[in-house]
A and B are shown apart, each in its own frame.
Chain A
Amino acid sequence: MVPLSHYLILSAVLFAIGMFGALTRRNAIGILMALELMFNAVNLNFVAFSRYLPSTMLQGQIFAIFVITIAAAEAAVGLAIVLGLYRNFKTINVDEINLMKW
């Protein structure tokens, strides 16, 4: 059987990759993709912990379901905002959208 720490390390790797993308990408859609990666890492953690608890305790999976649902809502609203940005600025590079930055 695969030890719990293997899953946790893998999840940490995915989280770190996603975080790097969210910090360095210029394209707003790229940032959203990196965010989805981070959500997936967190979900993997939840499910792994849930698997290693007694099988009547499914809270980890329940939380993963809620995270997935909210990630879907976040993606829809986020992409709508990106479309609005593109319409107003003709770019979705986040370092060029600096109207409120001094």
Chain B
Amino acid sequence: MTVIQVVFFLVAAFTTAAAFLVVLAKNIVHCAIALVFTFFGVAALYVLLDAEFLAAVQVLLYVGGITILLLFAIMLTSRISARGVRVMNEQVGMSAVVVFAIFALLAIASLKGFALVGSPPPASYATASLGRLLLTTYVLPFEAVSILLLAAMVGAIILARREREKD
């Protein structure tokens, strides 16, 4: 086993454990904290895959943005001290079966379908060509996504705003 493989297995175990905590923890704040660790684990995997730009975006956007948003929503909605409340609904058994079936399908497909894929090409620092692609070939989706973000921002503000009493 090379060093890279050891690092991969460590990061994978860490990420999986944190993901389990996100889903199973009783306290929703603990879930959010575990989610931060999961995001960091995935960012580390991006680094292992030579996608440095995506790793940076992951940390900035997910760890810095979405988690803060989630924590704010938790503070605004739930009574954090509420204990003894059921976390899961009644579908646990059925969901476990369905999820396991889907996981088995995905695992078999990944093992059988891509067994012949060889070693990856030598690493290249892709960030520059990523930016070039985004502003040439993919400039139309890029602009569309920017409009979508604007619409989502306006929509979120309108939805979250407290309604004024009508005069």
Contacts and interface: CB of A to CB of B under 8 A. Distances in A.
A and B part of one assembly: yes
Interface of A: 1-10, 12-21, 23-27, 29-30, 32-34, 36-37, 40, 43-44, 47-48, 50-56, 58, 61-62, 64-66, 68-77, 79-84, 86-87, 92, 94-95
Given A6-B8, A17-B23, A30-B87, A79 B156 contact: yes
19 contacts: A4-B120, A15-B102, A17-B23, A18-B23, A23-B99, A29-B70, A30-B28, A33-B22, A33-B70, A37-B22, A40-B62, A47-B46, A47-B51, A55-B122, A58-B129, A61-B54, A74-B152, A77-B156, A83-B160
A48 B16 contact: no
Given A77-B159, A92-B78, A83 B121 contact: no
Interface centre among A40, A48, A50 (most CB of B within 10 A): A40
Contacts of A58: 126, 129-130, 133
Contact of A10 (B16, B35, B39): B16
Given A36-B66, A69-B145, A4 B35 contact: no
Instruction: State the 7 A-B residue pairs at the shortest beta-carbon distance, nearest first.
Output: A8-B110, A21-B23, A73-B152, A80-B159, A12-B106, A16-B103, A23-B95
A40 B76 contact: no
Interface of chain A, helix or strand or loop or mixed? helix
- Band of interface residues on B: 35 or more
Nearest to B24: A21
B70 A14 contact: no
Contacts of B32: 33
Given A36-B35, A36-B66, A47-B49, A13 B16 contact: yes
A10 B15 CA distance: 9
Nearest to B72: A79
Contact of B126 (A23, A55, A70, A79): A55
